[in-house]
Structure 1
Amino acid sequence: MKKDDIRNLPEAQRDSVIMLVLQYGRDDTPGMAEWKAEGRRVRAADQARRAQAGQRAVAQLKKEHDEFQHVTWYKDRSYPEYANSNAFQAYIGKSDQGGDPYLRMLLRYSGDNWLFVQTFEVLADGQQFTVDPGGHFKVERDNGEGDVWEWYDANVTDDDMRMLRAVASSNTAKLRYNGQQYRQDRNITATEKAALRRVLAAYEALQGPQQVASAQ
């Protein structure tokens, strides 16, 4: 492969090739200096493109400032305004006092009958994940006008992040609500997956300045 072919590789493969060249390429190997220079140029262009895409993703989100909690919330515009609806969503919080942004997720069931949800299971293109709030008392509940809804709203863990990324990039994803006696399955919609991709891109973009500052 010629060094100019790096640009034509799929992005994930391109990143791997550049990393290998920069970390393990011997400087005394003929042509390696040109390979490394090309790798750095491609990496810089990729980083600039990702930063621009991330900033566009941030601009697409709606911002809500909570003056009591001293935090700004970034939510996708498709984020459900009312509690009586199913939801598989992520959103971002950023404290007025500074520090890194943080990611939260909302998993919500709405229907005619109580499930008393204890755990959630996700299947994304064959990959299976379990979200365990720690018992059905950790899941909040409410009802009104003949509808019931149960939801879990929490900070995202490393395992949750792997799940969210798998769902965001999946062709098919399903969510199962496991209740005390009953369970219910539903498809995670294309709208929810698109919203998740925008939120994850914005989250990475909002982390950028802190990561740069900490590296200097």
Structure 2
Amino acid sequence: MKTFRCCVLLFFSVMLLGCNTSDVAQENARLTQELSALTSERDSLAERVSELGKELSALRSELDEIKHGAGRLLSDGERHLSDKNISDAEKAFSYILGKHPTSKEADVARAHLKKISEDRERQEREKAERINNSLDFMRVTTDKVEGITWYTPKKALGGYGETLSPLILYVGKKSEPWLRMKLFYKSDNWLFVDKAIAYIDGVKHAISGDMFERDHTGGTIWEVSDVSPTSVDLYVLREIIKSKETIIRFYGKQYHNDRKMTPAFKKALQEALDAYEVLGGSMERYQ
């Protein structure tokens, strides 16, 4: 009898435990489902908050552009204009006209664009006139034996064709024209030059010319390098033309000597470039 009661109690205990385990499992599943739904809702809300943040940022940016964009663009354009970055200045002014056409800044931008256009047209007219007249500034000599005509800027020369400029650009022409560049050192004492540099507004630039020929007469000596200029040389020559100050330094075996490029000597370089163009030369040859 005692054994039977134990078995019955054990049976009901197992049944009760089985019922509790099933309920717990169901409740756990329900809570898990609710947690998953809440997590999904949280992620969705976070994504929406992020989207709203981006929209708010875009609206603030648009509002800032409406309030201050034209002014900033005008300031940028005028800064580019002051730095002589004409292309960038035109882009900024043109953008104002497209983005803020009725603003007061647009009126200023139109005035700047008109001035840029007028300046460009004037410069083109002056260049055309300068080029057309360039041969008038040349001393022309002809080598009948070789069939070559030489064009040398008069501003680089003195009386009787004497060389004055320490750096000369000149043109030779047979069937086609070509450029020559001469470094010219003249003194009453030998320097034995082996190279030269151009000191342009505080910056040193190398110049081609490492083979100097030497001659003398009546107590005067000449040391000369005569070469075909490279694309780098032509860049340096253009920098010299527009420079405020250029010094040509000749380096000898022991000493050096400085010669200044005067405004006339700088202009002679430009005249040689213009003459080369008039005679049919192409700068692509020196690229």
Conserved in 1, the CA contact under 8 Å of 2:208 and 2:230?
no
2:166 corresponds to 1:87: yes
One-letter amino acid of the structure 1 residue matched with residue 168 of structure 2: Q
Conserved in 2, the CA contact under 8 Å of 1:63 and 1:74?
yes
Q: Which stretch of structure 1 is more off in the superposition, 116-125 or 59-68?
A: 59-68
- Structure having the higher helix fraction is 2
Note the C-alpha offset of 1:205: 3.5
Conserved in 1, the CA contact under 8 Å of 2:196 and 2:251?
yes
Q: TM-score when scaled to structure 2? A: 0.53
Take 1:163 and 1:195, find their aligned partners in 2: how far apart are those partners?
Answer: 15
2:234 corresponds to 1:161: yes
2:201 corresponds to 1:121: no
Aligned position for 2:181: 105
Aligned position for 1:193: 266
Identity %: 29
Superposed CA deviations along residues 42-73 of structure 1, whole A, max 9, x for unmatched, are 97886565333211123322322221221221
Q: Which stretch of structure 1 is more off in the superposition, 50-59 or 112-121?
A: 50-59
Q: Secondary structure at the match of 2:155?
A: coil
Task: Name structure 1 gaps, 5 residues minimum.
Answer: 2-8, 26-37, 212-216
Aligned position for 1:142: 215
Conserved in 2, the CA contact under 8 Å of 1:119 and 1:133?
yes
Note the C-alpha offset of 1:131: 2.2
Take 1:131 and 1:68, find their aligned partners in 2: how far apart are those partners?
Answer: 31
Aligned position for 1:152: 225
Bigger relative contact order, structure 1 or 2 (CA pairs below 8 A, ≥6 apart): 1
Note the C-alpha offset of 1:17: 6.9
Query: Root-mean-square deviation (CA), in Å?
Result: 3.6
Q: Secondary structure at the match of 1:186?
A: strand
Note the C-alpha offset of 1:185: 1.3
Aligned position for 1:75: 152
One-letter amino acid of the structure 2 residue matched with residue 126 of structure 1: G
Give the 3 Å change call, closer, same or farther, for CA 108–41 of structure 1 in structure 2: closer
Note the C-alpha offset of 1:121: 0.9
Q: Secondary structure at the match of 2:133?
A: helix
Aligned position for 1:53: 130
Q: TM-score when scaled to structure 1? A: 0.69
2:255 corresponds to 1:182: yes
Note the C-alpha offset of 1:86: 5.5
2:285 corresponds to 1:206: no
Note the C-alpha offset of 1:119: 0.5
Note the C-alpha offset of 1:154: 1.2
Q: Secondary structure at the match of 1:174?
A: strand
Aligned position for 1:171: 244
- Structure having the higher strand fraction is 1
Q: Secondary structure at the match of 2:182?
A: strand
Count of aligned pairs between the two proteins: 187
Take 1:86 and 1:149, find their aligned partners in 2: how far apart are those partners?
Answer: 13
Give the 3 Å change call, closer, same or farther, for CA 48–205 of structure 1 in structure 2: farther
Q: Which stretch of structure 1 is more off in the superposition, 168-177 or 67-76?
A: 67-76
Note the C-alpha offset of 1:116: 0.8
Superposed CA deviations along residues 84-126 of structure 1, whole A, max 9, x for unmatched, are x56321111121x23xx21111111111211111100111112
